[in-house]
Amino acid sequence: MSTGELAALLAGAGRTVVFTGAGVSTESGLDDFRSPGGIWDRYDPREFTFRRYVEDPEVRRRSWRLRRELHGGDHEPNPAHRAIARLEQAGRSPGVITQNVDGLHADAGSTTVVRLHGTTRRVECIGHDPPGGRPDGCGFSAPTSWAMERIEDGDEDPACPDCGGIVKSATISFGQQLDPAVLARARRMCEEADCLLAVGSSLQVRPAAGLPRLAVDAGADLAIVNAEPTPLDGLATVTVHGLAGEVLPAAVDTALGD
């Protein structure tokens, strides 16, 4: 389908909720997980579960090294992030729900960003022996630079300065529960949407991938912009297979009459 059809759908929708995945940031130089050459070609995902992070200091050290590799560079928002922010600024979108942890939506000017998987910009105490998949920290939280400075100084597994607990990036790991309040907010936005615009997500990771389906069940149109087919293409009113940084600016410009 065409960018024109996407523009027409966006033009007719009062409330477009945008739902993004790693693919919206690849044009900013951040790898996604599942594309060839992506992060899972170089690291084993089974290693980075919440439980293993808690139990094994070596996993924590490797995790901080991966963190440095992923977010060591200066990454700028790309035209897709900016087009999404423009929709909100024009009063046509109540905000963006993202699976990404990179902070680029806010950098592009989006003000309502629901971060399902947290943020790499901060670290937090998760306690000494958190139960199940839930952090149980003392409340310590700091910018990620706090941890990076300690790692540069040779402390490969920095502990909480307040209680000595385990410090972890403020992101959701495998086996870690999503914050119920964040998920509830995302679900409400989906239920109230006229259109759910999913961008750069393989739509495979649950429960986040259930949100587009929830929006459709509540009566919204689904639009998908992704480089390759997704399992939800058959549910969509419009699907555009292409690069987000090319498709979205054109579609949003046309929809807003710019």
Residues that bind ligand NAD (CB under 6 A): 21-23, 25-27, 30, 32-35, 39, 99-102, 117, 200-202, 204-205, 226-228, 243-245
For ligand NAD, give the closer residue by CB, 91 or 229. Answer: 229
Residue least distant from ligand NAD (Cβ): 23
Q: Please tell me the distance from the alpha carbon of residue 137 to that of residue 126, in angstroms, as a whole number.
A: 4
Closest approach of ligand NAD to the CB of residue 258, in Å: 21
- Alpha helices for the chain (secondary structure H): 3-12, 50-55, 57-71, 79-89, 104-108, 144-152, 180-191, 210-217, 244-256
Nearest to 147 by CA among 126, 177, 116: 126
The least distance separating ligand NAD from the CB of residue 134, rounded to whole angstroms, comes to: 18
Q: What angle do CA 87, 23, 44 make, to 5 degrees?
A: 145
Which of 71, 81, 105, 117 is catalytic? The answer is 117
Q: Residue 129 or 228: which CB sits closer to ligand NAD? A: 228
Give min distance, CB of 163 to ligand NAD, in A: 28
CB closer to ligand NAD out of 201 and 239:
201
Residue with tokens 């007719």: 12
Query: Is 117 marked active-site?
Result: yes
d(CA 251, CA 257): 10
Which residues form the catalytic set? 117
